[in-house]
Amino acid sequence: MSVTPKLIKELRERTGAGMLDCKNTLTETNGDIEKAIDLLRTKGLAKAAKKAGRIASEGIVSSYIHAGGKIGVLLEVNCETDFVARTDDFQDLVRDIAMHIAAVDPRFIRKEEVTDDVLERERTIFREQALAEGKPAAVVDRIVEGKIGKFYGESVLLEQPFVKNPDVIVGQMVAEKIAKIGENIQVRRFARFKLGEGIEKKEVDFVQEVMQTAAGKAN
């Protein structure tokens, strides 16, 4: 298949890569746009890895409010320069991540934040489930590790399928933006608020406290 300007334009629109990168990648994949997209993503991950050690101390704190004011997210994402922090590309990425957090509610940002006790608890549960289902002991460990991978995909922000495009994980989306912008980008921290969350528990605790106080006075 020939590499036409129309094909290059389509690849650029779908990936955000530069014109020359799109042309070269399409030539490398003989005009197969889906293979070109995969290859550009792979190259993007490689470029992102090279920039990962660079200091990212600029960026923005962004907010996202969802569901008629019932869910809110505060998110800090860092980059290397204030110039990049003010670009539409960077700010669009931050808004997308904040919206994703509001919708999916991750527990951690990256795998390294998952503590050993959390992992051990999950492994114990998965192992007991597998044994209860009658799975052979020889394959239980493999099943458990497979489920740990799924746990990461459900609980870790950078491992989750992006809510607007489940074919791409959030970490890959960030890596592609790093490759396009040319600066290190780090999701630093977030807080997610859900209206009324925890109130019922606090009310129960308050009632218990009153009852315990009354019992103490009666004694």
Among 117, 112, 123, 113, which Cα is nearest to 147's? 123
Which domain, by its residues, includes 143? 115-154
213 within domain boundaries:
no
> Average per-residue pLDDT in the chain?
85
pLDDT tens for residues 18-75? 678 788 888 988 888 888 888 877 776 556 666 666 777 899 999 999 878 999 999 9
178 within domain boundaries:
no
Q: What is the CATH number of the domain that holds 146?
A: 1.10.286
Residue 205 has which token pair? 């605790």
Q: What is the CATH number of the domain that holds 36?
A: 1.10.8.10
- Longest Cα separation, the chain: 90
25 within domain boundaries:
yes
11 within domain boundaries:
yes
139 within domain boundaries:
yes
How many independent structural domains does the chain possess? 2
164 within domain boundaries:
no
What angle do the packed helices 33-51 and 19-28 form, to 10 degrees? 120
26 within domain boundaries:
yes
143 within domain boundaries:
yes
Residue 58 has which token pair? 């600029």
Among 9, 1, 5, which Cα is nearest to 31's? 1
Neighbouring residues of 201: CB distance < 8 A, sequence distance ≥ 6: none
Asked if residue 131 lies in contact with residue 160, where contact means CB atoms within 8 angstroms, the answer is no
pLDDT tens for residues 102-118? 999 999 999 999 999 99
Q: What is the DSSP letter of 87?
A: S
Q: Which pLDDT belongs to residue 122?
A: 94
CA distance 44 to 38: 10
pLDDT tens for residues 74-96? 999 999 999 999 999 999 999 99
CA 144, 149, 151, 154 torsion-angle sign: negative
